[in-house]
């Protein structure tokens, strides 16, 4: 583990995705916060243990948001999370069918230039990563054959991400869209395959990563308490529970990787 960093991995931030690549990743049973592609490198496939004790073994997984998994043995791995309200994220969620399954093309990531050892150590530029992730997610979308999301849900996404301190009231946002809160919840579950409250957790955690990444770019010291508050968490215990639930990390660990890499203007990932 590098001196001064709580975790050895690198966090990459895209416009509607987030990726964490770690050279020695292991994690206790935790719930995936968003649909993700999860992949490993040599030697051989990785094994994810599901909540019911079943194991799934593959070099590349599609992992639904809301599904639980764990990995006991440390190895180089990366999680590429797609915003559940992006076209690719919604398509990946449907393909994963609320669980964890092998992706049919084990060479998908390498074919698009995703070099895992380089990602784990930050040796790929933001432009490279943004372009490669964009290509991968475009292929995911093509494979899913997903219908377009209801435009009202797209409006919901923009409003939830743009609100100050990440604390948008879903009922108020629904009213702005001309819908009832109950209609939004049902529409969300039907089209996205996860709950609106789960999506709010994704928004908060994504915004925390944005805050930490931008503080790093400005060369500013950042307080975990300030960052989780700006992300929309009500207090430190609220943030700690969510970060432990979704990443098996403490807030101070999540906010101190080897590096943050901002890819939001690269390839419009």
Compute the mean pLDDT over every residue in the chain, rounded to the nearest whole number.
87
Residues in the chain predicted with pLDDT less than 70, given as ranges, are 1-6, 146-147, 163-168, 170, 267-269
For residue 70, the model assigns a pLDDT of 97
Domain 151-257 classified CATH 1.10.10.60? yes
Give pTM, 2 decimals: 0.91
Between CA 127 and CA 268 the distance in angstroms is: 10
For residue 3, the model assigns a pLDDT of 41
User: Residues 235, 241, 242, 243: what is their CA dihedral angle, to the nearest 10 degrees?
Assistant: 100
Domain 10-144 classified CATH 2.60.120? yes
Q: What is the pLDDT of residues 139-190, one digit of tens each?
A: 999 999 866 778 778 777 877 777 555 556 767 777 877 888 888 888 888 8
Q: Look at residues 36, 235, 22 and name the one whose alpha carbon lies nearest to residue 133.
A: 36
- Strand pairing partners for 20? 11, 79
Domain limits, the chain: 10-144, 151-257
- Strand pairing partners for 57? 47
Between CA 32 and CA 65 the distance in angstroms is: 5
């Amino acid at each position: 583990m590098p001196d001064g960093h709580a975790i050895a991995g690198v966090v990459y931030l895209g416009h509607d995705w987030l990726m964490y690549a770690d050279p020695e990743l292991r994690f206790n049973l935790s719930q995936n916060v968003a649909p993700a592609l999860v992949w490993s490198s040599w030697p051989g496939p990785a094994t994810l243990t599901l909540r019911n004790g079943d194991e799934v073994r593959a070099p590349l997984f599609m992992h639904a948001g809301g599904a639980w998994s764990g990995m006991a043995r440390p190895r180089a791995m990366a999680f590429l999370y797609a915003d559940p309200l992006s076209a690719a994220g919604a398509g990946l969620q449907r393909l994963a069918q609320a669980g964890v399954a092998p992706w049919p093309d084990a060479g998908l990531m390498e074919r698009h230039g995703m070099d895992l050892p380089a990602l784990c150590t930050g040796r790929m530029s933001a432009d490279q990563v943004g372009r490669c992730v964009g290509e991968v997610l475009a292929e995911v979308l093509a494979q899913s054959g997903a219908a377009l999301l209801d435009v009202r849900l797209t409006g919901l996404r923009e409003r939830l991400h743009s609100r100050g301190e990440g604390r948008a009231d879903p009922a108020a946002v629904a009213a702005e869209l001309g819908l009832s809160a109950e209609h939004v919840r049902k529409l969300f579950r039907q089209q996205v395959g996860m709950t609106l409250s789960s999506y709010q957790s994704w928004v908060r955690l994504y915004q925390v990563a944005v805050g930490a990444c931008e503080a790093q770019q400005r060369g500013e010291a950042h307080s975990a308490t300030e960052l989780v508050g700006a992300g929309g968490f009500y207090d430190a215990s609220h943030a700690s529970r969510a970060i432990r639930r979704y990443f098996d990390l403490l807030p101070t660990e999540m906010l101190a990787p080897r590096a943050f890499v901002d890819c939001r203007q690269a390839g419009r990932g």
